[in-house]
């Protein structure tokens, strides 16, 4: 049985290394995973209560239209219900956008170092991938504009960018959108936006009023702490959302995920506490990196990408032996590792381990 020719060489997505695998392989009893940008503080207590209640309905199909959650999200963001779509994580919405709008021969523009699922799903649709180099770790929106042609259908902007953590400002994004042809869909992936308190950061939802060709993506996986339940959402103009909905699989989000997301959305205090703790963690990492003589990209999500000035895989392997899992393997940044911001205690363990690793490597050299 032969697969489609255009997918033969596609890589399989590699998540952060599982904790149990590391324990088993290295004989460790304690392993700290800070590789997948998960919330170290878990989820709201209200989420756990909602899940417990929903267990009674586990044998019943979910509401395919997620009506209650749709209305709650629409109210929260000040949009209409027909402007919202849900997916099994925002990455499923990326898949649906590619399926709904791209055909072979279409061009799609993205950064050369960004969330890999944009490229992956566009390749599956046999679209032509146009990658634009980041500038100082940030989307070069002017260079992306220069690559727009009559064949361009979709442009992807990850803001904050994963893995670098940098942002494009509201001024930059609005100037960009004002010049993108209205026939081109612009996807603003704002998966980490709840962590940001920088007033220069744009709000993709508000931009919809002026730019009907925008879709913004959000998720419950990050600050809300529902990563394992796989639920995210997109907000756009009704006609755009309807097109995406036409390729959505039935019952693509579970009853438990919908109930948990609805509860999570109602706990602003939990979100605020996580944002404050994350900001403190980023400040700690930046101070520590400066003391180690290392430079990091300006971080705005719940992770930070630092140049360890040595092959990233070497540092990753050494940290792994100390029970610390981070994220290496960024093709355009071979000496950088990405570290999720953890609790205060976890962050201190990472810096202690990284300090020891860099000293050990320096001695070997």
Tell me how many domains the chain contains: 2
Task: Specify if 5 maps to a domain.
Answer: no
| Digit-coded pLDDT (tens) for 234-280 | 999 999 999 999 999 999 999 999 999 999 999 999 999 999 999 99
Task: Mark whether 26 and 102 lie in a shared domain.
Answer: no
pLDDT (0 to 100) of residue 43: 98
* Domain of residue 313, residue span: 15-42+269-360
| Contact between residue 86 and residue 62 where contact means Cβ atoms under 8 Å apart | no
| Digit-coded pLDDT (tens) for 318-330 | 999 999 999 997 8
Task: Mark whether 237 and 321 lie in a shared domain.
Answer: no
Task: Mark whether 289 and 248 lie in a shared domain.
Answer: no
Task: Specify if 91 maps to a domain.
Answer: yes
Q: Is the pLDDT of residue 225 over 80?
A: yes
Task: Mark whether 92 and 224 lie in a shared domain.
Answer: yes
| Contact between residue 210 and residue 237 where contact means Cβ atoms under 8 Å apart | no
Task: Mark whether 343 and 325 lie in a shared domain.
Answer: yes
Task: Specify if 3 maps to a domain.
Answer: no
Q: Is the pLDDT of residue 2 over 80?
A: no
pLDDT (0 to 100) of residue 329: 74
Task: Specify if 234 maps to a domain.
Answer: yes
**Measuring CA to CA, how many Å separate 341 from each of 36, 280, 287, 303, 360?**
10, 9, 14, 5, 24
Name the pTM for this structure: 0.94
Task: Mark whether 94 and 169 lie in a shared domain.
Answer: yes
| Digit-coded pLDDT (tens) for 194-215 | 999 999 999 999 999 999 999 9
Q: Which residue has the higher pLDDT, 31 or 353?
A: 353
Of the three residues 239, 266, 293, the one that is the final residue of a domain is 266
Task: Mark whether 32 and 121 lie in a shared domain.
Answer: no
Task: Specify if 319 maps to a domain.
Answer: yes
CATH classification of the domain holding 94: 3.40.640.10
Task: Specify if 7 maps to a domain.
Answer: no
Task: Specify if 252 maps to a domain.
Answer: yes
**C-alpha count within 13 angstroms, C-beta hemisphere, residue 69:** 28
């Amino acid at each position: 049985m032969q697969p489609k020719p255009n997918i033969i060489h596609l890589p399989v997505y590699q998540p952060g290394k599982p904790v149990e695998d590391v324990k088993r392989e290295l004989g460790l009893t304690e392993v700290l995973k800070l590789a997948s940008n998960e919330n170290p503080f878990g989820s709201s207590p209200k989420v756990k209560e909602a899940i417990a209640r929903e267990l009674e309905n586990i044998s019943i199909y979910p509401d395919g239209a997620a009506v209650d959650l749709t209305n709650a999200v629409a109210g929260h963001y000040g949009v209409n219900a027909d402007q919202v779509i849900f997916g099994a994580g925002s990455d499923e919405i990326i898949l649906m956008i590619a399926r709904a709008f791209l055909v072979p021969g279409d061009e799609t523009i993205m950064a050369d170092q960004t969330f890999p699922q944009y490229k992956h799903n566009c390749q599956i649709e046999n679209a032509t991938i146009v990658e634009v180099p980041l500038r100082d770790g940030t989307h070069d929106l002017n260079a992306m504009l220069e690559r727009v042609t009559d064949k361009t259908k979709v442009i992807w902007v990850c803001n904050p960018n994963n893995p670098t953590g940098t942002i494009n400002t509201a001024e930059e994004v609005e100037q960009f959108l004002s010049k993108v042809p209205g026939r081109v869909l612009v996807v603003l992936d704002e998966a980490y936006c709840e962590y940001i308190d920088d007033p220069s950061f744009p709000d993709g939802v508000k931009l919809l009023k002026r730019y009907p060709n925008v879709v913004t993506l959000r998720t419950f996986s990050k600050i809300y702490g529902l990563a394992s339940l796989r639920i995210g959402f997109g907000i756009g103009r009704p006609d755009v959302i309807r097109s995406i909905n036409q390729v959505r699989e039935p019952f693509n989000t579970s009853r438990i995920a919908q109930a948990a997301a609805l509860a999570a959305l109602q706990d602003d205090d939990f979100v605020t506490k996580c944002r404050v703790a994350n900001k403190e963690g980023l400040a700690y990492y930046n101070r520590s990196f400066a003391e180690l003589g290392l430079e990091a990209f300006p971080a705005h999500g719940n992770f930070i990408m630092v140049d360890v000035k040595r092959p990233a895989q070497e540092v990753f392997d050494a940290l792994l032996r100390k029970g610390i899992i981070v994220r290496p393997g960024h093709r355009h940044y071979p000496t950088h590792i990405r570290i999720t911001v953890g609790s205060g205690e976890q962050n201190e363990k990472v810096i202690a381990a990284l300090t020891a690793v860099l000293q050990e490597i320096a001695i070997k050299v």
